[in-house]
Structures are given as structure tokens and as C-alpha cells.
Amino acid sequence: MAASMPPLAGLSASATSSVSIADLRSAAARDPKAAIRETAKQFEALFMQQLMKSMREATMSSGMLDNEGTKLGNELLDSQYAAKMTGLPGGLTDAIARQLERQMGIGAAAGLAAPAAASGAPAAAATGTPLSHKQVDFVQQHAGAARAAEARSGIPAAFMIGQAAHESGWGRQEIRNADGSSAKNLFGIKAGAGWSGPVAEITTTEYVDGIARKVTAKFRAYASYDESFRDYARMLKESPRYAAVAAQAAQGAASAASAAGFAQGLQRAGYATDPAYADKLARVINTTMRVQRATA
């Protein structure tokens, strides 16, 4: 979003409520549609102010009472008029906002939901849903580790961050060691027979014949989140169960369609027992890609 944000630095503070670029970027991360409308409103305010100025300049002036004071007063009055005429229903703000939404692929979300559901892909393109600070912070926190893992495996960073977010509840439900410290295991990877490192034993939910059951299981514990990303990428790339899924993900760019294919591939390979795992994971990956676009 930030990379596509039109320049607003020249807007007059008196023409509108003067939202800074930093404020708009922050708003874009939380609620893209609201940020776009604010941008469009500022553009309309600038246009209306320039229109009022041109109209006044085209008006015959007597010159008898004109001075710097009256000029300043007229400018302030024009600014107030411009502010009053900005953001009205059916005005330029609506038109500009629609154009920006189309360019950024936000307005098309509602139109894509029905075909996606019909084709079996998750209807997870609800890009107008506001993002939370937690989601933005999580993506930014693990961006470096994910990019490094992508360089080694080819798996898109957005896919890995999305799965880490899904497995850990955006960092709120991390696997914990016995002393309460984080095991840094963001992907819910269990400690099987081939694992010789530290483990964290917790109670988790598994689905048996479609029924959720609480079980105690051992999970891998890491020294850092970077190590967690590296081990996850290595497992997907080298394991016979997941190698085909990882190879397919590495072939194309990250998108809603490829995210759905990645999630479905992991579920078919048995990554999780939750029957709705693919749909849930694809939705979180799509949210991760939204955060990346909004904070780029």
C-alpha cells in the first residue's frame, strides 16, 4: 500500500484534516479501505481548493480594498468551502476511492468470493477486513527469518509466515517449555523418532475420525525463531511427504490461488488432522499477503 500511495505532502493543512503519510500507512495496515477513502478525500479537498482559487482569480477585482489581509482571508474562506464540499455522497471522493481500490485489487474481493467457493477454493479473499496490530507485528517480526528460509527452499515467505501465524494463533498460542518459556516452535512440528534436540511436552487437540480429542504430545523446541523457520523449510523440502508440495509452491509467485493449492497439498499430505485445516490456513496466508502489501 505504501509503495502505491499517491503523494500527499503538498496538501494544505487547512484544506482538510491533514492526515500524514505515516498515519495513512498505519491506517492502511489496519483497514485498507478506510485508508484509501481518506487518501481520496484529501485529493478531492486539494482539487476543490484549487477550483475555488481559480474561480476567485477569474473574478474581476476592484483593487480598492485588496491587501495581504483580504488575500489571506479569502484563502482561508476558500479552504473552508473546499472542506465543506469534500466527501459528499456521489462526489469525487467516491470516484477516486473506487479507482484506487480497483488498482490495488481491494474492491474486487466481493466479486471473487462466489467463484472461489464454487471452484472449491476457500473464499478467503475478504481483503476489506481490517488488519490488527498483532497481525502486522507478527508478519514484520518474522519477515527476515521467512525470507532467509525462502532463499534456501523456494517456498514463498508469505506461505511460511502464514502457517506460523495459523499454528501459533499469531503468536498468542505458542508452544511452551515446562518452565513457561517459548519453545520457538511456530509450526507445531512434533518431535518424532528422528529428532535428537530438546522437546516441549504439551496437551494439544487432534482429530480422530473427525472428532476433536485432547492428547499429550512432544514437540520440537528451538533456540530461536530463525531455527524454527529453517527446520520447517528443510522438512518440507526434504520429506517425501511434503517435497512435492514444497516444489509446487516454489514454482510460482505467491497468490490466493497458489496459497489455496499449498494449503490443500499440506492437508492431503497429512500435516494436520483438522478436516478444515486447508481452508483455515489459506485464509491466514491471504491475510499475511495483505499485510505484506500494506507495509511494503
Q: Mark residue 119 as left, alpha or beta (left: phi above 0; alpha: psi -120 to 50; beta: remaining).
A: alpha
Strand locations in 162-237 (E): 199-208, 211-220
Catalytic residue among 78, 167, 231, 279: 231
Q: What is the rounded distance in angstroms from the CA atom of residue 81 to the CA atom of residue 270?
A: 63
- Whether the CB-CB separation of 290 and 136 falls below 8 Å is answered with no
Angle of CA points 8, 53, 69, to nearest 5°: 105
Q: What is the rounded distance in angstroms from the CA atom of residue 24 to the CA atom of residue 47?
A: 19
The DSSP 8-state label assigned to residue 182 in this structure reads B
SS3 206: strand
Residue 231 known to be catalytic: yes
- Residue 252 parent element (H or E): none
The DSSP 8-state label assigned to residue 116 in this structure reads H
Catalytic residue among 23, 66, 206, 238: 206
Q: What is the rounded distance in angstroms from the CA atom of residue 8 to the CA atom of residue 97?
A: 15
Residue 206 known to be catalytic: yes
- Whether the CB-CB separation of 106 and 50 falls below 8 Å is answered with no
For residue 142, which amino acid is it? H
Q: Which three cell numbers stand for residue 17?
A: 484534516
- Whether the CB-CB separation of 166 and 280 falls below 8 Å is answered with yes
The residues carrying an active-site annotation are 206, 231
